[in-house]
Structure 1
Amino acid sequence: MKIGVFIDKLIFGLNILFGGALLLSSFVPYISIKKAPIVAFFSLGIPILVFVNLIFLLFWLLRRKKQGFLSLVVLLISYFSLSSFFMFRFSEKAFQESDLSVMTFNVRGFNKNQHIENPNLLEEITDLIKTENPDIICFQEFNFRNRDDFKAYTYRYLEYIKNKGKVTLAIYSKYPILKEGLVNFPDSPNNAAFADILYKKDTLRIYNLHLESLRIIPDKNALAKEQSAKLFKRVSQSFEKQQEQAGIIKAHRKTVAYKTIVAGDFNGTEYSNVYKTIKGDDLHDTFKEKGTGYGRTYNFKYYPVRIDFILADEAMEVVAHKNYDVKLSDHFPVMASFQW
């Protein structure tokens, strides 16, 4: 056998392997993590599988080989079944004052543990909020000591949680808050909050979510040092917790009779069953409606991960969406605007 033919067969074998993995990933959103925790790992790796299959497709096209049809078919199937993680739009629509704007931002305690070497970070965050001027803000990992730093917002909901390990959430609004509360996640440092906001004589329910953290340090050297078995077990347990929490939010939403926006840090991608459970059939993903590019929301080197979302009631028209490329936390802020 000629060496060239052998190499082609070897490459095509790898092509079949990665193509099959991407096809299997098409079923990931429909499989409960509790039944098969390993599927959640596929949800994190789908962008990589898409990229690898694109490389195979280009390789065979450049060589004018019919093997390229495999990756082409696989990519088309995955696109229509999973939707794209990249939005092919050339520009973002501008925000208008007449529309309702909502921002979500995991601020990591406003850098209270000095993870970022920037003594002016709090001032830069407040300047960003002042400039972008959202009507409603959902903060995750809020620092209770900074509760009075956003004076432009007449209404707010946050509670001082005595449990030291529990994450603090905050909702700030320029419109009256009629009702508020916490949605507690059992046996977890994470939780959710909600606020019913009076807007144009209508009531809007805002959920602010912070789902179970995967507790992965976004550094390849740190990941390499950890034993794979321990990493798999820990992350699998976190995925199972997320699935339970998604079910809690889904059940809680069923008690609400008016329009809903769900925002926050999901600690998982749009390809997970957790995301599918929370989104259901009646919420829009604002990034998919009006976003551009990768829409990354988490600062993971060399890998554009989108784990922060704004999901809006289908009765609300998504007018604009923006992902901010500002390094003020390990997350990036996201904002969207609406009409109805």
Structure 2
Amino acid sequence: MAIRMQVGKLIAFFFRSLLWSLNLLLALYTCLAYWLLYSLQTEHWLAGMLMISIPVAWFLNFITVFLWLPTRPWRSWLSGITLLIGILLFGSRTFVWHQPAESANQGTTLKVFSYNVQSFGEMEYIGLPQSSPRIRRTLNYIVRYDAPIKCFQEFYSSTNLPDYDIVGRFQKAGYSYSAFLYPELAHVANGDIGVAIFSIYPIIESGRELFEMHNGVVWADVKVGNDTIRIINVHLHSMGIRVGKVLRQKQIKGVQHETRGVLSALRTGFIDRNEEVRKVEEYIKNSPYPVIVTGDYNDTPYSVVYERLHRILPNAFEEAGRGFGFSYNRLPGFIRIDNQFHDPKLPVLNFETINYIKYSDHYPIVGTYLVK
């Protein structure tokens, strides 16, 4: 009996020691990720992988706190302090709860609606005599939504069907001004326009830059009363995360193949987006007017892209949003990759992620700003 107790103690000691060693490594890993994001000492893609894993590291630290509480409560402080540091540094990027502010008649309120529409299900439409009810609901929603400025990514328009002549429908709805990544495709039978801006207010000047395929930036100087603001709509390189494909594999070889594909796409995405965000920064810095930068960044709040923009402009979700603001309507789901950044001269009154609209693989986002 005594020998059995001694063996039990030895096994318990071994596992406690192993857990403590793993806990130390986890704390060091988490702090390294904090330092990389806070300092941006390097923008290598491997550093990017560490940065975006911060929420996963938080979850593991949280679990570790509760594992230690019953047996060695003092050891739970390590992960507890690590979590506290992360909340102090990046908590507002993760969860906020603000109430909508009032304009108090200090100026004009301006809503900017942004939505990656996944080409309105164009692949479902090709070869069919009419669009589906789901697509018609999507199109009706985006045309009728009450916002004077609307920005889209993966925008598609076609003159083949009245439903899909979306450029024409916006013009009839009063959006007389527009700017496109591919303006020559606005009135054709198969118009993969990509990035698009529609405005009720006059656009006095606009420009565009193609990154690749349908990724790029479109900007428009919009006249709002006596003021002019620059709307910058961006769609950066895809994240390449297709978790669903990995989970659907029935054999280990298929899982390995898809996992390698995801990792390769992540690496390419980190490299390309880091280059693309520098071009967006130039449009911000060279603007003679206050700016609102919206779109699909394909990167989380714990990334080089987000950090670089955050250093020059406030984020609308952090200042006026509610909840976690998750904007991706596919697995893994718990990520926010659609954002709006704004000039401090255009204070944000409210920001909403419309997560009950599930027509696309993204949710729409809308920010309400005060143009003084």
Give the TM interval when normalised to the shorter protein: 0.7 to 0.9
Question: Where do residues 94-109 of structure 1 align in structure 2 (5 Å cutoff)?
Answer: 99-109=109-119
How far apart in 2 are the matches of 1:330 and 1:3? 48
Residues 133-177 of structure 1: CA deviation (Å, up to 9, x unaligned) = 112111000003221232242322223457x99861110112111
- 1:263-302 equivalences under 5 Å are 263-281=294-312, 283-302=313-332
1:323 maps to 353
1:169 to 195, 219, 226: 195
Q: Which residue of 2 aligns with 1:205?
A: 230
Contact 1:142–1:168 (CA<8 Å) still a contact in 2? yes
1:138 aligns with 2:151: yes
Kept in 1, the 8 Å contact 2:157–2:192? The answer is no
Aligned in 2, Cα 1:62/1:138: closer, same or farther, shift over 3 Å?
farther
Question: Which residue of the partner structure matches residue 312 of structure 1?
Answer: 342
Q: Match of 2:66, as an amino acid? A: L
Q: Which residue matches 2:40?
A: 31
Question: What is the CA-CA distance between 1:324 and the residue it aligns to?
Answer: 1.1
Deviation at 1:61, TM superposition (A): 3.3
CA contact (8 A) 1:105 1:138 kept: yes
Which of 147, 153, 167 is equivalent to 1:147?
Answer: 167
Structure 2 residues not aligned, in runs of 5+: 1-8, 126-130, 159-165, 250-254
Q: How many Å apart are 1:123 and its aligned residue?
A: 2.8
> Which position in structure 2 is the counterpart of 1:93?
100
**Which digits, 9 at most, give the CA deviation of each residue in 1:250-285, with x for residues without a partner?**
12222112100000011111111112223333x111
In the alignment, residue 123 of structure 1 is paired with which amino acid? R
- 2:365 is equivalent to residue 334 of structure 1: yes
Matches within 5 A, 1:191-230: 191-219=216-244, 220-221=246-247, 224-226=255-257, 228-230=259-261
**Counterparts of 1:237-248 in structure 2 under 5 Å?**
237-248=268-279
Where structure 1 has 5 or more consecutive residues not aligned to the other structure, the ranges are none
Q: Distance in 2 between matches of 1:321 and 1:225?
A: 40
Asked if the contact 1:106/1:142 (under 8 Å) is kept, the reply is yes
The match for 1:13 is 21
With structure 1 as the length reference, what TM-score do the two structures score?
0.88
1:47-58 paired onto structure 2 within 5 Å: 47-58=55-66
- 1:286 Cα deviation from its structure 2 partner: 0.8
Rg larger in structure:
2
The letter for the 1-side match of 2:360 is S
Distance in 2 (alpha carbons) for counterparts of 1:58 and 1:99: 47
| 1:125 match | 138
Q: CA contact under 8 A between 1:161 and 1:168: conserved in structure 2? A: no
CA contact (8 A) 2:242 2:331 kept: no
More moved, 143-152 vs 288-297: 143-152
Q: Tell me: CA distance 1:172–1:24, structure 2 relative to 1, closer, same or farther (3 Å).
A: same
Residues 1:231 and 1:273: Cα distance change in structure 2 (over 3 Å): same
Say if 1:63 and 1:198 are closer, same or farther in 2 by CA, change over 3 A: farther
Among 277, 292, 305, the residue aligned to 1:261: 292
8 Å Cα contact 1:267/1:308 also seen in 2: yes
How far residue 125 of structure 1 moved from its aligned partner, in angstroms, is 2.5
C-alpha distance in 2, partners of 1:188/1:243?
A: 17
Cα distance change on mapping 1:8 and 1:179 into 2, 3 Å: same
* In 2: Cα distance, 1:27 partner to 1:183 partner: 33
Q: Secondary structure at the match of 2:330?
A: coil
Take 1:129 and 1:95, find their aligned partners in 2: how far apart are those partners? 25
Aligned counterpart in structure 2 of residue 236 of structure 1, from 229, 245, 267? 267
Pick closer, same or farther for the CA change 1:280–1:190 going to 2, 3 Å: same
Relative to structure 1, the CA distance from residue 131 to residue 69 in structure 2 (aligned partners, 3 Å threshold; closer, same or farther) is farther
| 1:10 partner amino acid | L
CA shift in 2, pair 1:167/1:81, >3 Å: farther
Partner deviation per Cα, 1:71-121 (whole Å, 9 max, x = no partner): 1111122222333443242x7538989521111100010111239xx9223
Q: Higher helix proportion, which one?
A: 2
Residues 1:142 and 1:165: Cα distance change in structure 2 (over 3 Å): closer
- The alignment-based identity, stated in percent, is 27
Shift of 1:19: 2.0
